[in-house]
Structure 1
Amino acid sequence: MARLVLPERCGLTPLRARSRGGGAIALPPPPHLAAAPRRPVSAAIHRDWALRVSAPARLASVFEEDKSSSHWGDREEATGSAPAEEFNPGAPPPFGLAEIRAAIPKHCWVKDPWRSMGYVLRDVLVVLGLAAAAARVDSWLVWPLYWAAQGTMFWALFVLGHDCGHGSFSSNQKLNSVVGHILHSSILVPYNGWRISHRTHHQNHGHVEKDESWHPLPQRLYNSLDNMTKKLRFSLPFPMLAFPVYLFVRTPGKTGSHFDPSSDVFLPNEKKDVLTSTASWLAMIGLLAGLTFAMGPLKMLKLYAIPYAIFVMWLDFVTYLHHHGHQDKLPWYRGKEWSYLRGGLTTLDRDYGLINKIHHDIGTHVIHHLFPQIPHYHLVEATEAAKPVLGKYYKEPEKSAPLPFHLLGVLSRSMKSDHYVSDTGDIVYYQSDTETNNSD
């Protein structure tokens, strides 16, 4: 990719044109336009955007630092034009959902129940095979490998149940419900309770107050938390064990439970669904209790409890990184600035190496959030087709090694910096205690 003479830390990008082969080539501006003032694109789209956004200070400070440098004039002279404008992820996109939808091949929308059931059969056989092999060998050299593998397979089962909840598993709602209940109950997830709250998440993704999972805390709420709650929420590994707690009490600032049909996350006509999934969950608890009595607590701890803990870590790890940890700050919205499209574009794709196919490409998340009815086995193709429309609003994921250890660093950095958002502003960005203390 061609670059200007300017350093990358300025956040500036060269003018580009498309070659016939589809690549980007750098072009100098026409001489008669080199000195012409340019109106910011974001201002043309939304004139009062700058008055209502709580933008991160980092971008402005770096820009001012470079501009004050003694070499700033030399840089402008070397390029023959004023610096190019930095991309603003909070500006309304110049495309709509219809344009993205039109770019995705029609076959990507087709749900194949036989193919979906094939993935279920594959995963269930692997889970049973791993458990049988580990129980037969019963060696402390094998158990850690079993825990990692089986916990990952529990996570794969969750993703298939997740597809049932979205209706992307098949067009038959009874099949979706039966398979979803079996898969989710087997790993202690109340299928309907979670399905409905997850629907709320998708319908309000990127909205500060209305989003359901891993949404930001307003500063006033963050400041009201005691030190222990802050530590549990922002200090690893505690946030990676949050899912069971979330099922029972949701998150700070929200009330209710995924097992309580009167919770405000459910509609009155969904009471029966919530009771059904709670009964299924209790049946699994009873089965596990019986197996513990028959096999002994230690054997069940090794066969089920520890893999379940690994599954919970996978779930929290992956879902958190869908919405946090990008190298540039991503916007969250309030009020009239929020839209389904703009909220969906704040989600992130992640590359998990060999794990991609094991957990059914759930890391291919942007298109999934915009169009959750697309089956998981078409997400990669649909994403590639949509990229030309999305342009810079699509954040290309960092390529992973066979195992995604690089994402541990991303998670750690995000936990240290993504603490809360401003109490005011319709477009806001994550801040941390460190930034607040420095500004004081």
Structure 2
Amino acid sequence: MNCVTEVNSIIASLIKAAFLYSNPQTKIRGINLDTQLPKNLPSVIEIKRVIPSHCFVPSTCRSLLYALKDVVQILFAWVLLWYLLPLTNWIALKVLMIFVYWGIQGTFFMGLFVMGHDCGHGSFSKYRLLNDVVGTISHAFLFVPYYQWKLTHQNHHKFTGNMDKDEVFYPARASQKPSINSVLPGFGYGIGWFTYLFIGYFPRRVSHFNLFDEMFRGHEVACTLSLLTYGMNGTLCYWFYLSYGFKILFVFYLAPLFIYGSYMVIVTFLHHSEVNIPWYADQNWNYVKGQLSTIDRNYGLVHHAIHCIGTHQMHHMFTKIPHYHLEEATRHFRSAFPELVKSCDEPILSSFVRMFKKYNQQQVVADNALEVYYK
């Protein structure tokens, strides 16, 4: 398949996305969150058999085109605001333009992160070096140490739903004495995301800046390169600040960065937090149960802008599926195993507020708990 065909395919996907927005009946709808997973679950191989084989094959050209699209969107939004702001003297209109820009640019930043996320999983292309180069650059722009995050995220996928080994947002054992009152509203949103990168998540804290952490052992060179590109982005921001001042840096970059960080908190929390979705003790956990205990959510107008990352059950079962094949894979999975589907169509922000309250009230569980459900 050549690049012209790939471009046509992307255009067709965008047209299809517009149709989905205008016709809600064609969206992937929620099935049921009120029934628990059956005791006899299919194996990974049995689930894989129902998904077309092409869904597991990344196209380098197509992935690069999506990455280019994300970059062009970010540059276009930046340039558009840069030239439009001086054209009006109305303060109210300026403020409105800035707020709209923050929302749109923060969404574009999130889309760029998901492209780097695909690189970390090897679903961007078949070439590991290309994956790591694109992932390192895209994540450095967002102030994320790519390789360290890649390793902690792989740990999350390895132990999804395991309250004793998962990476973040897991219930805490009573003996660990977590401080419920220390949880900021919404986990601090964007601030919470960058705080997590620096100090990790209690009680299994892993700093993405500690090259000597056991999780990064054997990957020191790649992790160091990630920190160097991180530092290069910081240097560029400092030069921009010296040239244009802090207010311009804040309006054009730092505020959208906070919006993107808030996306990260909301999306990752809602992937794995919902009523009747279990967390398992290590001795009661297995891979299939853990991966199926994730929730598909549709993000409406921004669903495709953030590359369908809310279509999450099949992403967790098979991380090698590129984002542009996730919804097709999900349709085949749902057709073959309707009893295993977990999805929620409640509006995202109201769902986040509702589940954050439950988490804040119920995050502490007994030391001997084998399965935990939010009530």
Range into which the TM-score falls when normalised by the shorter chain: 0.7 to 0.9
Separation in 2 of the partners of 1:226 and 1:389?
41
Deviation at 1:127, TM superposition (A): 0.4
Q: Which residue of 1 aligns with 2:281?
A: 334
Asked if 1 retains the 8 angstrom alpha-carbon contact of 2:296 and 2:342, the reply is yes
**Structure with greater helix share of residues:** 2
Asked whether 1:294 is paired with 2:243, we answer yes
The 3-state SS of whatever aligns with 1:367 is helix
Residue 178 of structure 1 and its aligned partner are, at CA, apart by: 0.8
Whether 1:344 and 2:278 are equivalent positions in the alignment is no
Per the alignment, residue 63 of structure 1 pairs with none
1:136 aligns with 2:83: yes
The one of 157, 171, 180 aligned to 1:202:
157
User: Contact conserved, 1:422 with 1:428, CA < 8 A, in 2?
Assistant: no
1:153-232 correspondence to structure 2 within 5 Å: 153-221=108-176, 223-225=177-179, 227=181, 229-230=182-183, 232=184
Task: Give 1:417's aligned amino acid.
Answer: K
| Structure 2 Cα separation of the partners of residues 224 and 152 of structure 1 | 32
Runs ≥4 in structure 1, deviation > 6 angstroms? none
Amino acid at match of 2:316: H
Question: Which runs of 5 or more structure 2 residues have no equivalent in the other structure?
Answer: 1-33, 86-93
SS for the counterpart of 1:354 is helix
| Residue equivalent to 1:236 | 186
Match of 1:66 in 2: none
Asked if 2 retains the 8 angstrom alpha-carbon contact of 1:120 and 1:160, the reply is yes
Cα distance between partner residues in 1 of 2:169 and 2:96:
36
**Which of 329, 351, 355 is matched with 1:414 structurally?**
355
SS of the residue aligned with 2:343?
A: coil
Identity of aligned residues (%): 34
Q: 1:329 to 1:273 in 2, by over 3 A?
A: same
Distance (whole Å) between structure 2 residues aligned to residue 226 and residue 166 of structure 1: 33
Deviates more, 1:156-165 or 1:272-281: 272-281
1:216·1:430 contact (CA, 8 Å) conserved in 2? no
Partner of 2:36: 88
The number of aligned residues is 331
Highest RCO, 1 vs 2 (Cα 8 Å, sep ≥ 6): 2
Q: Is the 8 A contact 2:117 2:135 kept in 1?
A: yes
Q: Which residue of 2 aligns with 1:261?
A: 211
2-side partners of 1:224 and 1:311: how far apart?
Answer: 27
Q: CA RMSD in A?
A: 1.7
Give CA deviations for 1:372-408 in whole Å, capped at 9, x if unaligned: 000000000001111133322212331x7xxxxx221
Query: How far off its partner does 1:239 sit?
Result: 4.6
CA displacement 1:30-71 (0-9 Å, x = unmatched)? xxxxxxxxxxxxxxxxxxxxxxxxxxxxxxxxxxxxxxxxxx
Q: State the AA in 2 paired with 1:355.
A: V
Does the 8 A contact of 2:36 with 2:276 survive in 1? Answer: no
Q: Which runs of 5+ in 1 are unaligned?
A: 1-85, 401-405, 432-440
Partner SS for 2:261: helix
Q: CA 1:111 to 1:249, structure 2 compared with 1: closer, same or farther past 3 Å?
A: same
SS of equivalent to 1:414: helix
Distance 1:110 1:226 in 2: 44
